[in-house]
Amino acid sequence: MSRVYNFSAGPAVLPEEVLKEAAAEMLDYKGSGMSVMEMSHRSKVFDDIIGEAEADLRDLMKIPDNYKVLFLQGGASQQFAMIPMNLMKNKVADYIVTGQWAKKAYQEAQKYGKANKIASSEDKTFSYIPDCSDLPVSEDADYVYICENNTIYGTKFKTLPNTKGKTLVADVSSCFLSEPVDVSKYGIIYGGVQKNIGPAGMVIVIIREDLITEDVLEGTPTMLTYKTHSDAKSLYNTPNCYCIYMCGKVFKWLKKQGGLEAMKEYNEKKAAILYDFLDQSRMFRGTVEKADRSLMNVPFVTGDAELDAKFVKEAKAAGFENLKGHRSVGGMRASIYNAMPIEGVQKLVEFMKKFEEENL
């Protein structure tokens, strides 16, 4: 067996230890005589799995008691509609558009009410985070929306926007659990788990209790109402049981690594290896404003599309997978989520140095 260094933006690398544990438990989970994939979501065994997963996540993120944790299906994209359907009481919301995912959320919200684009960085191909200290937040906005880490462009909000008292809603899909967060600053934090936490097919929604009501937009399906899932503790219908189990294992792994403070330190160290190299390279360069650089997604280019393609091809042959940039940007992108070991980044930089020497 040989494993590659997988720099995919998602689905992405998972901790090897977690994969091995899951493999060992595949046929017989803790004496149940069956796999977690085969058991009832109403069973005591599964109840313990989901209960422990939630408790560990609450512990890791220090989630206050007045927030609910929901394990839902439909991915992060389902939230683009679910958020306005549940929160747009005044039918007004403000969006800060810093990339394709924020743009998609903004466009979806327009179906349900007045979505205002109050800031954008599209003028420079989303290569920076706009100043959000004094934005024209709408008087009657039900919420202000951000995508906190922009997976495709590699930017991250280092300071949260001044929402002037309005509820902040954040998509944290690509920075979930990469560093500590103050949950109390948000109305909703949500993210697809397939980048930093587990297998694809699930979104975790952390939502303040007062935002969970029956007063949703007319026609909102039962399955798209937060109250349905909150009342049923994420077991209204059959949830993504195996994904919840895998996420639970990753939460335990994160606790073992020292929690989110330790992950932040590790992630900063890892990202610095790559960014420091890019800043002195004569061939490669990063594509975003230094102050707004993401710790998780690092896009870079040579400036020559043919050379980029050659690099991606040779890197793949050397065991560095999924380095091709998003189709809308081109170039390269290394996603270095929590589970990417520091050796992976060190070896990638060694490979880049060698490629530079050979091709300059």
Ligand X SMILES: Cc1ncc(COP(=O)(O)O)c(C=O)c1O
The reply, when asked if residue 228 is annotated as ligand binding, is no
CB burial of 145-171 (b: ≥16 within 10 Å; e: otherwise) equals: bbbbbbbbbbbbbeebbebeebbbbbb
Check if 253 is active-site.
no
**Cα–Cα distance measured from residue 111 to residue 143, given in angstroms and rounded to the nearest whole number:** 16
The reply, when asked if residue 76 is annotated as ligand binding, is yes
CB of 202 vs ligand X, minimal distance in Å: 8
Cis amide bond preceding 15, omega within 30: no
Nearest to 241 by CA among 205, 292, 273, 201: 201
Check if 182 is active-site.
no
Catalytic residue among 56, 94, 142, 171: 171
By beta carbon distance, the residue nearest ligand X is: 75
**153 with 128: CB under 8 angstroms?**
no
The reply, when asked if residue 98 is annotated as ligand binding, is no
Q: Residue 159: in which H helix or E strand, if any?
A: none
CB of 80 vs ligand X, minimal distance in Å: 8
The reply, when asked if residue 159 is annotated as ligand binding, is no
Q: Residue 102: in which H helix or E strand, if any?
A: helix 100-109
Which CB atom, from 101 or from 157, has the smaller least distance to ligand X? 101
Q: Which two tokens stand for residue 268?
A: 């900063």
Catalytic residue among 101, 227, 249, 253: 101
CB of 75 vs ligand X, minimal distance in Å: 3
CB of 203 vs ligand X, minimal distance in Å: 6
Which CB atom, from 77 or from 138, has the smaller least distance to ligand X? 77
Question: What is the DSSP-derived secondary structure letter of residue 158?
Answer: S
Check if 101 is active-site.
yes
Which CB atom, from 174 or from 302, has the smaller least distance to ligand X? 174
The reply, when asked if residue 222 is annotated as ligand binding, is no
CB of 92 vs ligand X, minimal distance in Å: 23
Catalytic residue among 195, 227, 249, 270: 195
**83 with 208: CB under 8 angstroms?**
no
What residues make contact with ligand X under the rule CB under 6 A? 10, 75-77, 101, 147, 151, 171, 173-174, 192
Question: What is the DSSP-derived secondary structure letter of residue 325?
Answer: P
Size of the chain, expressed as the number of residues it contains: 360
The reply, when asked if residue 151 is annotated as ligand binding, is yes
Report in angstroms the alpha-carbon separations of 26 from 163, 192, 254. Answer: 46, 24, 22
Which residues participate in the annotated binding site? 42, 76-77, 101, 151, 171, 194, 237-238
Which residues participate in the annotated binding site for L-glutamate? 42
Which residues participate in the annotated binding site for pyridoxal 5'-phosphate? 76-77, 101, 151, 171, 194, 237-238
- What residues are labeled active site? 101, 171, 195
